[in-house]
Amino acid sequence: MKLPEKPILLDANSSIAGEQAAQSLHLGWRILISLLLLGLVALLGMLLQSSRTASAAPAERPSMQSMADPLVLAFYYTWFDESTWTNDRLSDLPAEPYVSRDRGIMGRHIEQAQRAGIDAFVVAWYGPTGDSNQTEPNLAALLEEAAARGFKIAVLFETDSPFFNGVGAVNAALRHLLDVHASQPAYLRVDGRPVVFFWRPSLYGVDTWAAIRNQVDPGRNAIWISEGVDVSYLAVFDGHHLYSNTWNPPADLTATNRRFAARVEAMRTSAGADRFWVATVMPGYNDVKIRPGSGFARDREGGAYYERSWQAAIDSSPRWVVINSFNEWPEGTYIEPSVTFGDLFLALTATWSSRFKAGASVQQASVGEGFTRASEIEPTSDTPIAIVRTPVLNLRAGPDVSFALLGHAIEGARLPILGRTADSSWWRVRTSVGEAWVFGGLVEALGPLDDVAVLASAAATPAAQANKSVIPPTFTITVDGQPILLRQVQATNP
């Protein structure tokens, strides 16, 4: 027989105390859980902020570039200060004037370049020394700002730097560049090798550059890119570009790019090692105010010239494309936002850099004025001709380098001969810009040359004297508030 359970009797005070204990226990758990959740939220926020600080670059941007990557680069200048932005020196002004040492400006420029599809700035550098040389601290700061944003920086080595006094200074500067700056995380490396562009390597001969490289980069651990119309420097350098291909008189961009791409390929074959072509694109040009008497302007045509420049560059199948420039204001080649054009050229850059990286084909640009191609002139067998045997040949108003430049002819052009000097050192020829003189050492003269008339020296005629080039002896630029006098040298290239 089951007995009834004994009832448990509690008085009123016991019941209240038990209820209070239960509520206290429940509240304690709620507070503990809330604190844990708040801690987790704070920890997650810290992790996200750390991730944002570590890299501001898009997630898809690769951490290392390969030689197979079709890179878009842009020349960049860091020597602007408060005295730069004056209408008497510049054809246009930035939408927001600035000083190059401002890190906020560096960051803004980097982010603008990233949105336009530019992979790296190629920064003009005067070397590590010089009291007024702001390019050294500004390069170091740019590398830090670029690292925070997943962007890359390379150097445009200014061989004619006012702070270099000879080959020894060039050696020391290159060692500093490779040992100090090229070791930074944001420095542009392709297949692990730091990239260095060179301005005016023609200041030294090929043998001198070979000696320099054997001292500072004997293992060929860097990638050196030469500049100019002389591709023989590829005996020492790894790649080649034309800093400017907007010439006066104008040249056909497509023919010029194709010709130099072919020359680089020929050097690659003869060297038995990789040599590659870097094509240049330009939005226009205007240096009239800083070089009165010798400067010229190439109209931007509302962006049409820039687009033709991109077309011509892509048509030459380059390894990389370099834009001249992001912010070279004195020569009027900038693409950063300006008072006149706004952000038009950044928008165009975004479109064309995307096409280049996608491998899109483009139509061939038309032949420009002042340029002669081999296919344009086909003389008969009884006509004496001069065949151009140099990549780019100057067409001059008279038989001397002091005469005005009328245009250019590229290698392989066949120019009918109309006359000569007594020693046949110069030939008068017919071209697409009219009659002109060419230097005999840069052409191959063929045909019935005995019948070619000796013409009176063009230098003796008043008209020819009027056509002589006028070159101002000096002009001044401001570097970090200090004026530097630059001496312009009389042209000696025929």
pLDDT at position 407: 77
pLDDT at 64: 75
The encoded tokens of residue 439 equal 């230097």
C-alpha span between 443 and 367 (Å, rounded)? 22
Q: What pLDDT is recorded for position 59?
A: 34
Report in angstroms the alpha-carbon separations of 395 from 372, 378, 403, 442: 10, 19, 10, 11
Q: Please identify which residue in the block is written with the tokens 């060419």.
A: 438
User: Using an 8 Å Cβ cutoff, are 385 and 417 in contact?
Assistant: yes
Task: Give Dmax over CA atoms of the chain in angstroms.
Answer: 148
pLDDT at res. 390? 77
User: Alpha-carbon distance 220 to 226, whole Å?
Assistant: 15
Note the helical H segments in 148-252.
167-179, 206-216
The model carries a pTM of: 0.66
Helix, strand, coil percentages (3-state) for the chain, rounded to 5, are 35, 20, 45
Assigned token pair, 244: 């400017």
Q: What is the mean pLDDT of each run of 10 residues along the chain (494 residues)?
A: 37 46 56 61 50 38 76 98 94 96 98 97 97 96 98 98 97 98 98 97 97 98 97 97 94 94 92 92 96 94 95 96 98 96 95 90 35 39 82 85 82 87 92 86 89 71 45 48 50 61
In this structure, the chain runs to a length of 494
Q: What is the CA angle 243-391-301, rounded to 5?
A: 50
- Rg over alpha carbons for the chain, rounded to the nearest Å, is 32
Phi then psi dihedrals of residue 23, to 5 deg: -65, -40
Task: Enter the tokens of residue 224.
Answer: 């050196």
Alpha helices (runs of H) in 304-376, residue ranges in sequence order: 304-315, 344-358
Tokens 């840069």 locate to 442
Q: Where are the beta strands (DSSP E) in 215-270?
A: 223-227, 239-241
pLDDT at 409: 76
CB burial class (10 A; 0-12, 13-18, 19+) of residue 64? Answer: exposed
- The identity of residue 384, as a single letter, is P
Q: What is the pLDDT of residue 16?
A: 44
Residues 219 and 213: their CA atoms lie apart, in Å, by 9
> Is 486 in contact with 476 (CB distance < 8 Å)?
yes
Q: How far apart are CA 288 and CA 352, in angstroms?
A: 28
The answer to whether 323 touches 109, Cβ cutoff 8 Å, is no
What is the amino acid identity at position 139? L
Per-residue confidence (pLDDT) for residue 29, from 0 to 100: 59
In the chain, the amino acid numbered 423 is: D
Contact call for residues 483 and 477 (beta carbons, < 8 A): yes
Cα–Cα distance, 389 to 261 (Å, whole number): 16
CA distance 400 to 398: 6
Cα–Cα distance list, 152 to 86, 197, 281, 474 (Å): 31, 14, 19, 36
